[in-house]
Amino acid sequence: MKRSTKTILGLVLFLAAAYGIRSAHYNSHFLSDTVIGGVHVGGKTTTEAAQMLKGHLADERYTVVENHKKIATFTSRQAGVHTPTQTELSHVMAQQNNWAWPLHLTTATASTHGVDSANVNQARFNNVARQIVATASQAPRTTSKNAHLTYRNGQFTVTKPVYGTAVTLTSTKQALMQALEADTQQLQLSNAYVKPSVTAKSASLSRAEANAQKIAGHTLTFKLAGKAHPVSTKRVASWLTTKNGQLALKTGAVTKYVSALSKKYGTVSKTRRFKTTNSGTVAVPAGLYGWSIKVAATVKRLKPAVLTTMRTQNVTQTPTIQGTGYHKNGADIGKTYVEVSKAKQHMWIYKNGQLVISTAVVTGKPPKGTTPSGVYVVWSKQRNATLRGLNDDGSKYASKVSYWMPVDNTGVGIHDSPWQPQYGGTWYKSHGSHGCVNTPPAVMKHVFATVALNTPVVIY
């Protein structure tokens, strides 16, 4: 019994000593299964390994292949591969666990240290990658497409991704580095194909589809000029898509719809039927006065309303409006306005439906200076202005006025005209203005005080 115990103890001590000796050996030698840059250097010292790697990595040849056809070749030197120095190998060796040497007797747990960006000359590496891309681009390429959500026949479906053959500098550099790290002498160009980032089974796409179903269960209504304009649920659903797996709006489709809404209900470009003071109802062409929907701003506001708010509730929105004359009750010109009749050479000013000023005027001299017909707007008011322009003979004029109210974008406005000896009648045919509405100075003072900015001016 005692002999057996001593035998076992001796065996243990022997094995421990052998284990320790072997472990010490790996203080100066790489573990048996160590691979660096594709070269097995197990059992080698740093000096021996450096020599092996120098011969192996200096001019190793690589081939780029696509569909069994060689499209490019390059050497490790051309790719900027740097051969590890003995010092660098010493750092690698210092990181190995010497005491775990029994686990490294086979390649099952191989310690692989490949070529990486730290020991590659980036300028040379990038140059090789660019050459590969240039060569690959000579052949027709198809672009990969992500799986995405579509709305068709009243339901949402997932369109499968498209796997294309296009390559980029980034994807080629990644595939090239992987080949160098694995010491793969034949690089398949297909490894550089830009792959779809979203597949039909992506979790993000599933979430997008679920949210789209929620949105389709609620309503969107535009409130415009006193009226409600509901958007059909099918139309809203058709606006939904995905971008990189995330729910998104088809901006083009939404923009088209909002633009059509603006064209249908906006007033800035429309001829109006206007009931005059004493000439019946006339058609007045469009001018500066009127409103339209500010399409880009409206679409921008609509995006979070549809994509987020409509997941849980119905949404009513008033579009962003630009221009003048928009009223929530649907009114256009309203009951406060300036009316100018060229035929009668007269101007009436109404405030809240009541006639407050009535005066004879002088409008533009036909045919060159004829005052333009249209619905305009008082967009500025100035005291003591100097009006400049050209006379019929081409000479310049500079007329000083005490009150100036421009109404269009060509220089036409309403102002006092102390140089006019008379107003009304046919005087304008021979002594008319360059297009402005000349007003008696004594009256113009009251006009200026009465008419506010943005007041519509109807000229016919």
Give 266-296 pLDDT, tens digit per residue.
Answer: 999 999 999 999 999 999 999 999 999 999 9
Known catalytic residue at 29: no
| Residue 405 and residue 448 in one domain | yes
Contacts for 271 with CB less than 8 Å, ≥ 6 apart: 283, 284, 285, 286
Confidence of residue 251 (pLDDT cuts 50, 70, 90): very high
| Residue 431 and residue 349 in one domain | yes
Known catalytic residue at 346: no
> Among candidates 374, 368, 388, which has minimal Cα distance to 342?
374
CATH number (domain holding residue 442)? 2.40.440.10
> Among candidates 336, 340, 389, which has minimal Cα distance to 361?
340
| Residue 381 and residue 424 in one domain | yes
Sequence letter at residue 356: V
pLDDT of residue 17: 67
Catalytic residue among 113, 415, 431, 446: 415
The residue out of 264, 288, 323 marking a domain boundary is 323
| Residue 273 and residue 375 in one domain | no
Tally of CB atoms within 10 A around 263: 12
Lowest mean pLDDT among 20-34, 57-71, 107-121, 417-431: 107-121
Identify the DSSP state of 146: -
Please report whether residue 236 resides in a domain. yes
- Rounded to two decimals, the pTM is 0.70
Please report whether residue 143 resides in a domain. no
Please report whether residue 187 resides in a domain. no
* Helix (H), strand (E) at residue 177: helix 169-182
Task: Look up the domain containing 375 and give its range.
Answer: 337-459
CATH number (domain holding residue 216)? 3.10.20.800
Count of structural domains, the chain: 2
| Residue 313 and residue 354 in one domain | no
| Residue 379 and residue 282 in one domain | no
Instruction: Give the pLDDT confidence of 45-75 residue by residue, as tens digits.
Output: 988 787 877 766 667 889 999 999 999 999 9
Q: Do 397 and 391 form a contact (C-beta atoms < 8 A)?
A: yes
The residue out of 297, 323, 349 marking a domain boundary is 323
The residue out of 292, 323, 354 marking a domain boundary is 323
